[in-house]
Amino acid sequence: MSVKIALAGNPNSGKTTLFNALTGSNQFVGNWPGVTVEKKEGKLKGHKEVVITDLPGIYSLSPYTLEEVVARNYLIQERPDAILNIVDGTNLERNLYLTTQLLELGIPMVIAVNMMDVVNKNGDSIQIKQLAEKLGCPILEISALKATGIKEAAQAALQAATQVSACKVHNFSTQVEEALSAITNRLPQEINENQKRFYAIKLFERDEKILQGNMSAAAFEDIIAKVEKELDDDSESIITNERYIYIGEMIKGCYKKHSKGNLSTSDRIDRIVTNRWLALPIFALVMFLVYYVSVTTIGSYATEWANEGVFGEGWELFGATIPGIPVVVGDFLASINCADWLQGLILDGIIGGVGAVLGFVPQMLVLFIFLAFLEACGYMARVAFIMDRIFRRFGLSGKSFIPMLIGSGCSVPGIMASRTIESDRDRKMTIITTSFIPCGAKLPVIALIAGALFGGASWVAPSAYFLGIIAVIISGIILKKTKMFVGDAVPFVMELPAYHMPTVSNVLRSMWERGWSFIKKAGTIILLSAIFIWFTSNFGFVDGSFGMVEDLSDGFLATIGNAVAWIFAPLGWGNWKTAVATIMGLVAKENVVNTFGVLFGFAEVAEDGSEIWDTLAASFTQVSAYSFLVFNLLCAPCFAAIGAIKREMNNTKWTWFAIGYQTIFAYAVSFCVYQIGAVITGELVFGIGTVIAILVVIGFLFLLLRSNTKAPNSKVSVSIPG
Amino acid sequence: MRTLREAKVGERISVLKITGEGPVKRRIMDMGITKGVEVFVRKVAPLGDPVEVTVRGYELSLRKADAQMVVIE
Q: Band of the pLDDT at A375, cuts 50, 70, 90?
A: confident
Q: Which helix (H) or strand (E) holds A334?
A: helix A325-335
Question: What residues of chain A lie within 8 A of the CB of B44, using their CB?
Answer: 276
Q: A205 lies in a domain?
A: yes
Q: A19 lies in a domain?
A: yes
Closest-CA residue to A79 (of A4, A138, A168, A8): A4
For A9, list phi and psi in degrees, rounded to 5: 175, 170
Pairing label, strands A3-9, A50-54: parallel
A115 annotated among ligand-binding-site residues:
yes
Reduced 3-state DSSP string for A438-478: CCHHHHHHHHHHHHHHCCCCCCHHHHHHHHHHHHHHHHHHH
| Cα distance between residue B26 and residue A91, in whole Å | 20
Q: A184 lies in a domain?
A: yes
| Nearby residues of A480 by Cβ (< 8 Å), 6 or more positions away | A394, A395, A429, A486, A708
Residues A12 and A157 both lie in one domain: yes
Domain B2-72, CATH homologous superfamily name and number: Ferrous iron transport protein A (FeoA) (2.30.30.90)
| Nearby residues of A322 by Cβ (< 8 Å), 6 or more positions away | A309, A314, A315, A316
Q: A232 lies in a domain?
A: yes
| Cα distance between residue A141 and residue A115, in whole Å | 8
Q: What is the CATH number of the domain that holds A206?
A: 1.10.287.1770
Residues A123 and A234 both lie in one domain: no
For A235, list phi and psi in degrees, rounded to 5: -60, -35
| Cα distance between residue A390 and residue A388, in whole Å | 6
ipTM score for this prediction: 0.97
pLDDT, mean of residues B35-44: 94
A23 annotated among ligand-binding-site residues:
yes
Q: pLDDT value at position A23? A: 93
Residues A179 and A138 both lie in one domain: no
| Nearby residues of A666 by Cβ (< 8 Å), 6 or more positions away | A630, A631, A633, A634, A635
CA angle A348, A352, A353 (to 5 degrees): 110
**Interface membership of A716 toward B (CB under 8 Å):** yes
Q: Across A518-565, where does the E strand assignment appear? A: 539-542, 545-548
Q: What are the beta bridge partners of residue A494?
A: B61
Q: What is the CATH number of the domain that holds A13?
A: 3.40.50.300
Residues A147 and A191 both lie in one domain: no
Q: Which helix (H) or strand (E) holds A494?
A: strand A493-495
Q: Assess whether the previous peptide bond of B46 is cis (omega < 30° from 0).
A: no
Residues A143 and A194 both lie in one domain: no
**Interface membership of B71 toward A (CB under 8 Å):** no
Residues A129 and A208 both lie in one domain: no
Select the residue from B29, B40, B54 to test the A interface by mutation, using most A Cβ atoms within 10 A: B29
Tens-place pLDDT, residues A391-440: 888 888 888 888 888 888 788 888 988 887 878 888 999 999 999 999 88
A10 annotated among ligand-binding-site residues:
yes
**Interface membership of B44 toward A (CB under 8 Å):** yes
Residues A84 and A146 both lie in one domain: yes
**Interface membership of A119 toward B (CB under 8 Å):** no
Task: Provide the shortest C-alpha distance from residue A93 to chain B (in Å).
Answer: 6
Report H helices in A187-234.
196-204, 221-231
A24 annotated among ligand-binding-site residues:
yes
Size of interface A-B (CB pairs under 8 A): 122
Handedness of CA A79, A80, A82, A86 (dihedral sign): negative
Report H helices in A43-173.
66-73, 92-103, 116-121, 128-135, 150-162
Each domain of chain B, given as residue ranges in start order, spans 2-72
Across the interface, do B31 and A490 touch by the CB < 8 Å criterion? Answer: no
Q: A196 lies in a domain?
A: yes
Query: Is A362's pLDDT higher than 60?
Result: yes
Select the residue from A205, A235, A240 to test the B interface by mutation, using most B Cβ atoms within 10 A: A240
Q: Are A37 and A56 in contact (CB under 8 A)?
A: yes
- Domain end call among A113, A138, A162: A162
| Cα distance between residue B16 and residue A149, in whole Å | 41
Residues A11 and A129 both lie in one domain: yes
Across the interface, do B66 and A492 touch by the CB < 8 Å criterion? Answer: yes
Across the interface, do A241 and B29 touch by the CB < 8 Å criterion? Answer: yes
- Domain end call among A239, A256, A273: A256
Q: pLDDT value at position A715? A: 42
Q: Band of the pLDDT at A645, cuts 50, 70, 90?
A: very high
Whole domain around residue A213: which residue ranges? 174-256
Residues A186 and A240 both lie in one domain: yes
Q: Band of the pLDDT at A663, cuts 50, 70, 90?
A: very high
Across the interface, do B30 and A495 touch by the CB < 8 Å criterion? Answer: no
Q: A97 lies in a domain?
A: yes
Residues A81 and A121 both lie in one domain: yes
Tens-place pLDDT, residues A454-489: 988 889 989 999 999 999 999 999 998 888 887 555
| Nearby residues of A567 by Cβ (< 8 Å), 6 or more positions away | A574, A579
**Interface membership of A484 toward B (CB under 8 Å):** no
- Domain end call among A102, A136, A162: A162
| Nearby residues of B55 by Cβ (< 8 Å), 6 or more positions away | B31, B32, B33, B37, B38, B39, B40
Q: A217 lies in a domain?
A: yes
**Interface membership of B29 toward A (CB under 8 Å):** yes
Between positions 21 and 80 of A, the ones with CB within 8 A of B are 59-60, 62, 64
Residues A141 and A10 both lie in one domain: yes
Q: pLDDT value at position A407? A: 87
Number of domains within chain A? 2
Q: A43 lies in a domain?
A: yes
**Interface membership of A535 toward B (CB under 8 Å):** no
Query: Is A212's pLDDT higher than 70?
Result: no
